[in-house]
Amino acid sequence: MVQNIIEVRNLSKSFDISSKEPGLKGTIKHFFRRQTKSIKVIKDISFEIKEGEIVGFLGANGAGKTTILKMLCGLIYPSEGSISVSGYLPFRRKENFLKNITLIMGQKQQLIWDLPPIESFYLNASIYDLDKFEAKKRIKKLSEMLEIDEELFIPVRKLSLGQRMKSELLAALMHEPNILFLDEPTLGLDINAQRNLRKFLQKYNKETNATICLTSHYMKDITSLCKRVICVQEGAISYDGKLDLLLKRLSPVKEILIVCRSEDDAIKLENFGFTVKNKIKNEITIKIENDSITSSLKTILNNFDIEDLFINEPPIDEIIGKILIKKNYDF
């Protein structure tokens, strides 16, 4: 049986946040008498993650995804509850725990700006106690996987965003961590760079059985990497389970556009008992529940003279967007 590598119980986090009224009056008031209030950004959440799992954290901006990741890797102290990552209390930041994890943030960088990435890699190697030979071996292996070569010797400031992100990944994975926390790793990358990064993460997970916790606003990252998702809404978990199931729940019907040979057939089909979305001449769009799609298509093909047929999957961004837009989405 696969072991839980992350266990979170009744975790909460509150921050003291100050607010300011607009205008000069507000600024002066804010300067002399700052009004702060405690806001609970994470509310009593519990979940487990198994070794080797890739879990996507979904939620709108400010929902609390990054705060959860930062508590899991030990950067932020929790206000209440307990966290165990690889058997360690993350916020104690023990050396062995830190050697097991890595955090990659799409919008922040750790590479030395004026030097080629290779210099940062060797610095990291000394921090992680790797000898030169081992470091060289790992750099070679990871650079092949990430398909970077010459870029390793060009100053970071002269690299493109995609090349920089690949180098960031290499720097973050040199110590071969078995838990990866990725906070929007594909942010700002072009489509090809995004795809390459996803391919790399899949491969890394397959080869090392590393556990990956990922947040991203690019749905493609989530759908191609994560079988399981955790939806975070206003600091609470609203869904924790398989992505497929979530999509089925959020979008239980498919739209089918049927092009009939004649308008008569389209009229007959309209009166057959399907839920019709619209009908224009010999083209009719019907809605069919996911569960009965095979049997319904069989019936249509057997009873009507069909010229063409299109099954329209609603765009995943649109489906997931429903959770992000609507507060307290009812699953």
Order of strands across the sheet with 35-50? 35-50, 4-19, 80-85
Q: How far apart are CA 15 and CA 156, in angstroms?
A: 35
Residue closer to another protein, measured from CB, 184 or 265: 184
Instruction: Determine phi and psi for 33, rounding to 5 degrees.
Output: -135, 90
Question: Which residue's CB is nearer to another protein, number 73 or number 266?
Answer: 73
Contacts of 315 (CB under 8 A, 6+ apart): none
In angstroms, give the least distance from the CB of 306 to another protein.
50
- Shortest distance in whole angstroms from residue 250 CB to another protein: 26
- Strands 236-242 and 283-289 come out as unpaired
Distance of closest approach, residue 265 Cβ to another protein, in angstroms:
55
Quote the least distance from Cβ 226 to another protein, whole Å. 19
Chain residues that interact with another protein, rule: CB under 8 A: 15, 66, 70, 73-77, 93, 95-96, 98-99, 101-103, 105, 107-110, 112-115, 119-120, 122-124, 126-129, 155, 183-184
CB-wise, 59 or 256, nearer to another protein?
A: 59
Strand 306-312's sheet: what is its strand order?
275-280, 283-289, 253-260, 306-312
Query: How is 203-242 classified by DSSP, letter by letter?
Result: HHHHHH--EEEEE-S-HHHHHHH-SEEEEEETTEEEEEEE
Least separation, in Å, of the C-beta of 325 and another protein? 21
Instruction: Concatenate the DSSP letters of all residues of 24-52 into one string.
Output: HHHHHHHHHS-EEEEEEEEEEEEEEEETT
Tokens of 202: 């899949």
Closer residue to another protein, CB minimum distance, 75 or 293: 75
Smaller CB separation from another protein, 120 or 233: 120
Report the C-alpha dihedral over residues 114, 115, 117, 120, rounded to 10 degrees: -100
Q: Where are the beta strands (DSSP E) in the chain?
A: 4-19, 35-50, 54-58, 80-85, 101-105, 179-183, 211-215, 228-233, 236-242, 253-260, 275-280, 283-289, 306-312
Least distance to another protein from the beta carbon of 101, Å?
Answer: 7
Q: Residue 36 or 295: which CB sits closer to another protein?
A: 36
- Please give the distance of CA 228 from its chain centroid, rounded to a whole number: 10
Of 110, 117, 69, 82, the closest CA to residue 232 belongs to 69
Nearest CB to another protein, comparing residues 73 and 320 = 73
Query: Cβ 124 to another protein, closest distance in Å?
Result: 8
Task: Closer to another protein by CB, 122 or 329: give it.
Answer: 122
Name the minimum Å distance from CB 218 to another protein.
Answer: 15
